[in-house]
Structure 1
Amino acid sequence: MALDTSKCGKKTVHLQAKDTGKHYVRLMTCNKLECPSCQPVISARIKKKIRYYAQHERLFFFNTITSKDGFKDLDNVFTKIRKYLTYDATVEGYMKKKKVDYDKALVWYEKKKKKLIESDVDIELQIMARMDALIKVAKLNSVYYMVLPEFKKIEFRKQYADSIKKQFDESYRLKKNDNDLCEKLREKIEKRFSENEHEEFKFIRVLEYHKSGQPHYHFLSNKYISHTLLKKVTVEGVSEVYDNTYIVEDAISKNKELNYENVDTSIVANYVSKITDYVTKDTIETYLEVQKESDITKKLISSSNSIKIFDDKDEKDLKYKKLAVFDYQLNSTNYEIPSNVGEVYETVEDFIKEHSKMLRDEHAIRLHHLVRDLDLSDEIKYSYMINERLLQISSMDFLVERPSDYRTEGLTFDQVRLMKSFIDNRITLLLGRAGTGKTYTLVNLLNRLKPDPNKTIVCTYTGKASSRIRELFREYDLQDYKSLTIHKTCSSNFNSKFFRNEYNIIDCAYLIIDEVSMIPREILSKLLQAVPSHVKIIFAGDDAQLPPVNDTSIIPELEALDFVNTVRLTQVFRSEDAVLGQAYNVLGRKSIDYNLFGEDMKELVLKLISDGYQILTNTRKLAKDINMIVQESKNDIIKCFDDYKYNLKDRVMIIANSSARNVSNGDTGKIVDFDERGVSVRLDLEDREVFYKYEDTEEIVPAYAFTVHKSQGSEYENVAVFVDSQPKLNTNNLLYTGITRAKKNIKVYVPNEMVLTTMINRVPEPVSNVTLNNVFDVVHGVIDIKKSSSMARR
């Protein structure tokens, strides 16, 4: 029985994994579109499926029909369109109807198509002439027609109907006699008809209701629905407002560099995804009201039979066995039940009760209210929240148990300083360049000081960085400590919405955040709001690495705060390492060894791949171009997303978090199996496989090449960095980060020496003038500005 929307997130289910036998408890969700909590998650899942099917079924036409006479009339119109394209206007339909052979039916079809093309050309001319007439009459009357609201446009057309008709007749006559224009239109419409013209009619359809109650169908189709057909079926009480855009043609009109051959999946995806945008709160509410008052059985989103937007799960998809349901709301989205649960709790229900307690932090709550009342822009808000929250934490007079005995032998002076700083200070910043053993130092600190694992949070921004720390935990027998991504730590199940927050904080005494330079301010501010004010914090990072995308590295600003104690690791443990030599030359603005690439790109890439090199790039486009070179010979697996084809043993990268699969953005692996449903990927850092249905393969990409940004937190034996000319993107930090991903061998490829020289000498430009160090002054300025209606920024 489905969970009622009002109960969504209020109950807990006890599950057992079928493959491992492990036990879990999770918050139950209703999984209904009308639920405010579930709707974003469901919409994202549906969009992903639509993008997949739009590619593989070539659903390249975006159509809209509407009705003034209600839903039944609208559905009747769609039924006529479907029947026409499925039977009435097909070769097979004519053969059945007239009992003729294929050749005769094809002759009939071609004649019919020719008439339809000429009819559509005439309608296109009328549409153009009508718009010309409206604009011309509006201009004569000093009216900006295109910016008028719809009801004003209707009033304008009625008021100036005679003038519009006169201008229309003249414009239509001129266009009708323009042979070049008519021929161009004819070619375009012929191209539309040729798209899947002898294929089965396929569609994905969304029902939209306006608040007025007027319904619309927005649907993607694999066949062109002609103006002539739409005019024919929409005369019976249906509004003439319709759309039948050919997505490929529309994309080409907006980008002159495109043609019919190079409009790829990613371009089409930008168009087709918008179809779910019509499933709004208003639509859902109106639909539910109408459904109660009538016998509507149609779904808000539906599709032709061969397309499964809401497919039933088969046995392979059911990874968990449901054991029990409890009337408790967990304080996290899910927990793994420890194997020794019986030693601490009498029953699973007792475990759930204990983990249903939600702790508040009054200091964080006051900050939340203050920021809300200040109504700050995002640019200011997150820096303000981080600064204020750290100030709160640094000021707390709360005694934490101090270790009385710990070993320091074998440690460097800086490593000992870190341990003392962690003991004596609320907030510590650990800085270390490549080769200084920063992550090792953090793990060694836990190994020697042994803070309570149940009260210690170790987190990173990326799954790959988290996996590296888990490797070190296993190496030093520290499996009691958990290394998680920030999103997992804060129980995020969609985008950046954290279940853990100031009203439901994480019960911890110690917080270690590695690779802090990578973390966007919004995410860091939310993490700090989700931990108690008495927590001790270690930030760790490399201030020479890349900043977050569209953000500035927070490390220099943390280092400048009076209440943050900084420890910098200075000893390089791999001083003879050639890779590090190149990296430190980049930081010193010195030249490095490089190679040129150009027309020999294909041969070069294939040689590097065969030699075991991981290719990193400065842009996603270059990474995709390189992956497509490798893809040319692939033909075993051809049903994946984004034009990618694979063979068994091909390497892939996971580019989206998945709690169901327990994988993180940035994890890598190898395709080890495939069938008619999807592909199985064996993860590099874990001895297990994860399965992706073909419609989910948007979440994996070839891993022969990816961007330097995606590589952060990872290391590879051999790395080749390819950099094309992108002056604003190419910085010293990007090159340093790319080089330091290599353990043994590094090669740098550029189109010319000037690109490399410019890159070595260029540092990232600040994204904002607002920093942790001036944000209080900025906020006070904003408050004053609200009173005086002027703006000044320090």
Structure 2
Amino acid sequence: MIKKLNNLSRDEGRLFFKKEDLGCKLDYVDSSIESFNNSIYKPKHENRKIKEFKGKLYIKEEVDDTKEIIESLQKRSQIGVDNYQKEANEWLNKNINEVKGEEKISAIKKGFSNSHIFMIYGSAGVGKTTLMNMFAEIFKDESALCLSVTNSSVQNLRSKISNDNFDFMTIESFINSGPTNPSLSLILIDECSMVSNKDMASILSKLTDDTIILMSGDTYQIESIEFGNWFKLGQNFLKDDCYVNLTENYRTSNCYLSNLWNTVRAANANMGSKENLIEAMLARYNFTSADVESILNKTSFNDDEIALCLNYDGLYGLNNINLLLQAQNNNRSYKFGDYIFKPNDPILFKANSYYKGMFYNNLKGKIIKIEQEENDIYFTISVDSKIEYSSNENVEILDFNDDYSIVKIKIENYQEKHYDDDSSSTTLIPFQLAYAISIHKAQGLEYDSVKIVITEESEENISYNIFYTAITRAKNNLKIYWDPEVQRRVIDRFKPKSPNDDVDTLIRLFPALKVE
């Protein structure tokens, strides 16, 4: 029963639960909690206890961490940044034509005028990272650090924040690093919905009270693996000038796709008593197909298309789909150990510090040409990034413009056994085949066309947030391949996650948290 409470809290991102939520007899719930709490005898483990307030159960540690984070954010929101208003207005006067939408203009104006923190909320494609970069330009002379959860998201952030003087690292690296540089005055945190309460509390503990903190995220995308609700709750405990909700979407001009995203975000699953609104919209706009085999028809793919999978193995796992789609590429194949590449293959770069500053994890590309000379391999590749010069002797820049670059990469003395080695090396092929990738890896990426494969074997792994993340990778075309029965079961499991109950109960438990 205790394990079930922990799982519910983590999976649903909630703090407080009614006893009935546990699906056990009430007297069993009470006796189990009493027995569990009595088993905790060391003072240092007191925070693991299960507590009750106004008929609702909660895990003491999770509520204490949430309270600590909210109090820290509230404290930092009381005083504005010196000269911010003047510098923001000067930046706007010079760059007003580059700012799309009144939402961003308003956010920049209020930003840090009365607070040392600011939170950016919004769905995929509304320009959260663009707004972060605008703030970064205003604070261009500050000593700054940009944080995100994974190496992939850090590199994605690095590619979009244009200040070369800013440092970048993962949250784990920052938490485990030594004392914070006393000159650090600004910190940017991206993908905040994936940051656990434990990690956020650790981050705040390493910062001075006058550190400027800019946070961004989408509470509907993939969540933290550990318990993390601080970002979802944050705006409910802060003044209006401490956050912005961006709503205007720039990722897609397809109104049907945009309507689907909004419907899934709203999680309004009932249209009348018989029809599910999400299912109705999927059918009406032809976003679904039961013919899973048709995904293997390469003639239906365009140049910027991806298949998203949950499984790695099996007939419709990403490994097999990659091989089957590559087989329809009629160009000559080049075999490197167990791996095969062909000209015109889509690829994604992997983390490799040898190419740091040029190719970042999850950078999209396409192979143009492959050459072999004894043990060396030369790949000519089109990458979706502007690379003007190379300081790497094994990378030659052949051409570039604002949207892409043509590069030639030399892999020295290639060794098969090194392919999956994650160390820095000139002998590693720094990319992977990408006709198909996992939904988790796709976070932060976007494609003109997205095909999602959900089979009976993988349906249990599709949560509301994973589904939303997958469908918002598409800019124009979307197709979900699943059986009607699978579709029904998956959507039936979607549950809206409103923070209102937790907000109300937290305020009743800790009245001082309420924003006046």
Shift of 1:446: 3.6
Amino acid paired to 1:646: F
1:437 aligns with 127
Retained in 2: the 8 A contact 1:513–1:539?
Answer: yes
Retained in 2: the 8 A contact 1:651–1:703?
Answer: yes
Structure with greater helix percent: 1
Is 2:385 aligned against 1:685? yes
2:453 to 706, 717, 722: 722
Shift of 1:568: 1.2
1:403 aligns with 84
1:568 aligns with 245
Shift of 1:706: 0.9
SS in 1 for 2:187: strand
SS in 1 for 2:341: coil
Cα deviations by residue, 1:708-735 (Å, 9 ceiling, x for unpaired): 1111111122222222233432233323
Is 2:290 aligned against 1:617? no
Cα deviations by residue, 1:749-780 (Å, 9 ceiling, x for unpaired): 22x123234434433699xxxx89989999xx
Shift of 1:666: 3.0
Cα deviations by residue, 1:310-349 (Å, 9 ceiling, x for unpaired): xxxxxxxxxxxxxxxxxxxxxxxxxxxxxxxxxxxxxxxx
2:419 aligns with 697
Output the CA distance in 2 between the equivalents of 1:669 and 1:380. Answer: 47
SS in 2 for 1:424: coil
Please report the TM-score for the alignment, with normalisation by the length of structure 1. Answer: 0.42
Output the CA distance in 2 between the equivalents of 1:529 and 1:430. Answer: 21
Unaligned runs of 5+ in 2: 1-42, 50-58, 270-277, 388-394, 396-408, 423-430, 510-516
Retained in 1: the 8 A contact 2:148–2:191?
Answer: yes
Give the greater-gyration-radius structure (CA). Answer: 1
SS in 2 for 1:423: coil
Output the CA distance in 2 between the equivalents of 1:402 and 1:703. Answer: 47
Cα deviations by residue, 1:118-164 (Å, 9 ceiling, x for unpaired): xxxxxxxxxxxxxxxxxxxxxxxxxxxxxxxxxxxxxxxxxxxxxxx
Retained in 1: the 8 A contact 2:307–2:451?
Answer: yes
Shift of 1:387: 4.8
Output the CA distance in 2 between the equivalents of 1:506 and 1:754. Answer: 57
Output the CA distance in 2 between the equivalents of 1:512 and 1:776. Answer: 28
Residues 686, 553 of structure 1: CA spacing in aligned structure 2 closer, same or farther, 3 A cutoff? farther
- Percent of aligned positions with the same letter in both sequences? 18
Retained in 2: the 8 A contact 1:731–1:761?
Answer: no
1:712 to 443, 446, 449: 443
Matches within 5 A, 1:55-70: none
Retained in 1: the 8 A contact 2:122–2:218?
Answer: yes
Aligned residues: 386
Is 2:287 aligned against 1:587? no
Retained in 2: the 8 A contact 1:639–1:694?
Answer: yes
SS in 1 for 2:120: strand
Please report the TM-score for the alignment, with normalisation by the length of structure 2. Answer: 0.61
Shift of 1:391: 2.8
Output the CA distance in 2 between the equivalents of 1:537 and 1:479. Answer: 17
Output the CA distance in 2 between the equivalents of 1:548 and 1:524. Answer: 11
Residues 427, 639 of structure 1: CA spacing in aligned structure 2 closer, same or farther, 3 A cutoff? same
SS in 1 for 2:209: coil
1:540 aligns with 216
Structure with greater strand percent: 2
Residues 393, 596 of structure 1: CA spacing in aligned structure 2 closer, same or farther, 3 A cutoff? closer
Output the CA distance in 2 between the equivalents of 1:639 and 1:773. Answer: 59
Amino acid paired to 1:401: D
Task: Answer with 682-691 or 537-546: which moved more.
Answer: 682-691
Residues 389, 556 of structure 1: CA spacing in aligned structure 2 closer, same or farther, 3 A cutoff? closer
Amino acid paired to 2:418: D
Retained in 2: the 8 A contact 1:508–1:532?
Answer: no
Retained in 2: the 8 A contact 1:436–1:572?
Answer: yes
Is 2:322 aligned against 1:627? yes
Amino acid paired to 1:650: D
Amino acid paired to 2:385: L
SS in 2 for 1:545: coil
Matches within 5 A, 1:146-295: none
Residues 660, 537 of structure 1: CA spacing in aligned structure 2 closer, same or farther, 3 A cutoff? same
SS in 2 for 1:422: coil
Retained in 1: the 8 A contact 2:154–2:170?
Answer: no
2:170 aligns with 486
Output the CA distance in 1 between the equivalents of 2:371 and 2:159. Answer: 26
Is 2:375 aligned against 1:652? no
1:735 aligns with 467
SS in 2 for 1:709: helix
Retained in 1: the 8 A contact 2:81–2:112?
Answer: no
Output the CA distance in 2 between the equivalents of 1:568 and 1:467. Answer: 25
1:596 to 289, 296, 303: 289
Output the CA distance in 2 between the equivalents of 1:690 and 1:531. Answer: 43
Shift of 1:513: 1.6
Residues 757, 444 of structure 1: CA spacing in aligned structure 2 closer, same or farther, 3 A cutoff? farther
Answer 1 or 2: higher relative contact order, Cα 8 Å, separation at least 6. 2
Retained in 1: the 8 A contact 2:155–2:361?
Answer: no
Amino acid paired to 1:746: L
Unaligned runs of 5+ in 1: 1-371, 779-794
